[in-house]
């Protein structure tokens, strides 16, 4: 209990913060859900209302033409059989059909392909149609019924048919059959588009507005009808009573007439506008009718309040999520560092055991007197010296990395020949690499190289790491090439191997501390992950850069480029430059671990 109380006291601020934060998060979450649902349901309901209004307009248009067609085209079959079609003309004369531009009959009782009769309003009689586009449209529309008559098949589907293949002649057809379901004729009407545009559309649009949008004001709603070419042909703006003005015949698709301009312009200033588009269900099916709601002021205020609250909730949510993400990143980074340090300890332990085992083995051979000749003693001594140097380089790598991390790394700069440093490194590693079966080739340099202002020990350490790195990751290849050359203002040295190579996505990461490629043969090689990181630090502190060219399976080439020393600079003794506080120089060269 005492430990629990002490723990609570130490973390009282954290628990207080969580006690305040938790209810706030819950409230903000509930507010967000409520606002989201409210906005979504409001938008759905509003769009549903707009869609229902367009459906009502379409139904009213359909009802108008369907009822007119049923009244006018319901011709009795005996009139065809008994050749009394003039009575149909008398009925049309007595009750004119509103919305019809032309009425016609097709008689299939005496002619299998049909006898066509047009109703002439001027003479109020049936006449034979002359050759014209109108007659051709009637013939094309009646072609299916001609086939039924020619085959003497029974006509089962007796519903009204609409033919709109020719937009200039939209036709409603009513098949007439006798008691045996044999086709005896067809009655049809050609629609008057001008009447539809000027009378039927405005009436249907304005008749449905009050029931769906009571109390609407001018500018709140914009209804637009476009023909099959996309031209605006009719529209109504605002509340009931606004006349639906027809568009000019030469209206450009996508534009509005001058009368509709101010109202539709209000849509941009009234906030977000909702729009729904639909087609007519029965006739003029290739025309579209659309309605745009610019929203009223209370709705705009409610939307602005919603936007403000939603924005505030989102900002708070983003802040919370950001904090959680940062905490997770910190925890993940700590875990990765812990894993890398564990790997580092394991790999360094392995690296330390290898030279120590060699030193102990050769020391035991000397102690037991197995070296019978002075040459063997010198050979064993050379191996012991090489392995001890390797062990020293490993320890120096770790110490130098610690100095770099703490800002206490120092260098002793002096003008010198980079070739001498490279040759010394190759000689120092020759015994160890030859024992492992490697051959290191130092390509000759035909011309003298410019001098470089450098710390020879540090540059030697970097080259040691690169050559040792090449040996570790050479795979079955046993050739390592070292090349020297000069560039304008620079001196370059490259270490090339023909080993496993490095994938593209890993090439930028291998210079990071503790990073080791985690796939394939590369991961199986032991190492601490500090060697290349030290190389980069050393080269950058010398004002140079290190480049890498590598392809998986084809080897890697690491190139160090150091700035050449100015020709006029006097040659001094040792100079000390540090990356932090002063300390002694680096002893020896480091192994690439």
How confident is residue 577, by pLDDT bands cut at 50, 70 and 90? low
Query: Taking a C-beta distance cutoff of 8 angstroms, is the pair 463, 423 a contact?
Result: no
Residue 484: how many other CB atoms lie within 10 Å: 17
Distance CA 232, CA 465 (A): 79
Q: How confident is the model at residue 9, as a pLDDT?
A: 58
Distance CA 301, CA 294 (A): 13
Distance CA 490, CA 451 (A): 10
Bridge pairing between strands 288-293 and 221-226? antiparallel
Burial code of 364-390, b = ≥16 C-beta within 10 A, e = fewer?
Answer: ebeeeeebeeeeeeeebeebbebbebb
Q: In sequence order, what DSSP letters do the residues of 349-395 get, joined into one string?
A: HHHHHHHHHHHHHHHHHHHTT---SHHHHHHHHHHHHHHHHHHHHHH
Question: Which helix or strand (DSSP H or E) is residue 545 part of?
Answer: strand 545-551
Task: Note the pLDDT tens digit of each residue in 347-384.
Answer: 667 667 777 887 888 788 887 777 778 887 887 787 78
Least confident residue range of 160-174, 202-216, 273-287? 202-216
Alpha helices, DSSP H only, in 197-291?
A: 201-212, 261-269
Tokens (6 digits) for 398: 């770790």
Q: How confident is the model at residue 237, as a pLDDT?
A: 46
Q: How confident is the model at residue 586, as a pLDDT?
A: 33
Distance CA 245, CA 257 (A): 9
Q: How confident is the model at residue 178, as a pLDDT?
A: 86
Can you list the domains of the chain with their CATH numbers? 74-191 (3.30.450), 297-593 (3.30.565.10)
At a CB cut-off of 8 Å and minimum separation 6, what does 349 contact? none
Task: Note the pLDDT tens digit of each residue in 209-222.
Answer: 888 887 777 677 88
Residue 455: how many other CB atoms lie within 10 Å: 25
Residue 192: how many other CB atoms lie within 10 Å: 18
Indicate the angle between helix axes 297-367 and 374-406, nearest 10 degrees.
160
Average pLDDT of the chain? Answer: 77
Distance CA 587, CA 585 (A): 6
In this prediction the pTM is 0.45
Residue 186 pLDDT exceeds 90 = yes
Least confident residue range of 96-105, 329-338, 554-563? 329-338
How confident is residue 253, by pLDDT bands cut at 50, 70 and 90? very low
Task: Note the pLDDT tens digit of each residue in 302-320.
Answer: 566 677 776 777 677 667 6
Residue 31 pLDDT exceeds 70 = yes
At a CB cut-off of 8 Å and minimum separation 6, what does 233 contact? 197, 201, 225, 226, 227, 246, 247, 251, 287
Q: Quick one: average pLDDT of 225-250?
A: 59
Residue 588 pLDDT exceeds 50 = no
């Amino acid at each position: 209990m005492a430990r629990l109380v002490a723990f609570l006291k130490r973390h009282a601020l954290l628990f207080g913060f969580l006690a305040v934060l938790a209810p706030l998060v819950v409230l903000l979450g509930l507010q967000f859900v409520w606002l989201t649902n409210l906005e979504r349901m409001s938008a759905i309901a509003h769009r549903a209302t707009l869609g229902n209004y367009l459906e009502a307009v379409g139904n009213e248009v359909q009802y108008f033409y369907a009822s007119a067609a049923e009244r006018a085209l319901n011709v009795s079959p005996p009139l065809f059989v008994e050749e009394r079609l003039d009575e149909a003309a008398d009925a049309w004369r007595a009750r004119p059909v509103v919305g019809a531009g032309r009425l016609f009959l097709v008689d299939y009782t005496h002619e299998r392909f049909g006898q066509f009769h047009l109703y002439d309003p001027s003479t109020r009689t049936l006449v034979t149609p002359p050759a014209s586009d109108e007659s051709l449209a009637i013939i094309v529309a009646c072609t299916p019924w001609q086939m039924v008559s020619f085959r003497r098949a029974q006509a089962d589907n007796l519903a009204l048919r609409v033919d709109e293949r020719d937009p200039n002649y939209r036709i409603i057809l009513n098949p007439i059959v006798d008691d045996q379901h044999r086709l005896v004729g067809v009655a049809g009407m050609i629609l008057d588009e001008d009447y539809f545009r000027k009378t039927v559309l405005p009436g249907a649009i304005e008749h449905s507005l009050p029931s769906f949008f009571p109390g609407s004001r001018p500018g709140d709603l914009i209804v637009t009808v476009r023909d099959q070419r996309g031209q605006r042909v009719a529209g109504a703006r605002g509340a009931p009573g606004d006349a639906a003005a027809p568009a000019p015949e030469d209206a450009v698709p996508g534009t509005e007439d001058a009368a509709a301009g101010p109202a539709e312009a209000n849509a941009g200033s009234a906030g977000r506008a909702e729009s729904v588009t639909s087609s007519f269900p029965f006739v003029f099916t290739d025309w579209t009718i659309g309605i745009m709601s610019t929203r009223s002021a209370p709705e705009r205020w409610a939307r602005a309040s919603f936007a403000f609250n939603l924005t505030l909730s989102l900002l708070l949510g983003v802040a919370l999520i950001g904090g959680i993400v940062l905490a997770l990143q910190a925890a993940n980074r700590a875990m990765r560092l812990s894993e890398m340090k564990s790997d580092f300890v394991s790999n360094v332990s392995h690296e330390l055991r290898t030279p120590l085992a060699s030193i102990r083995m050769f020391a035991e051979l000397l102690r037991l007197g197995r070296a019978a000749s002075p040459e063997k003693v010198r050979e064993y001594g050379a191996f012991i010296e090489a392995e001890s140097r390797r062990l020293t380089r490993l320890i120096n790598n770790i110490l130098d990395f610690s100095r770099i991390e703490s800002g206490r790394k120092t260098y002793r700069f002096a003008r010198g020949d980079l070739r001498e440093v490279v040759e010394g490194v190759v000689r120092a590693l020759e015994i160890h690499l030859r024992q492992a079966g490697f051959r290191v080739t130092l390509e000759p340099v035909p011309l003298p190289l410019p001098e470089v202002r450098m710390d020879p020990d540090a540059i030697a350490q970097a080259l040691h790491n690169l050559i040792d790195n090449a040996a570790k990751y050479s795979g079955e290849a046993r050739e390592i090439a070292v090349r020297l050359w000069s560039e304008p203002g620079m001196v370059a040295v490259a270490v090339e191997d023909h080993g496993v190579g490095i994938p593209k996505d890993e090439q930028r990461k291998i210079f990071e501390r503790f990073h080791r490629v985690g796939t394939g043969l590369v991961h199986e090689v032991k190492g601490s992950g500090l060697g290349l990181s030290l190389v980069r630090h050393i080269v950058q502190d010398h004002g140079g850069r290190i480049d890498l060219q590598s392809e998986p399976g084809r080897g890697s080439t690491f190139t160090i480029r150091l700035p050449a020393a100015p020709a006029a600079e006097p040659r001094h003794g040792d100079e000390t430059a540090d990356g932090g506080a002063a300390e002694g120089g680096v002893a020896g060269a480091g192994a690439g671990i």
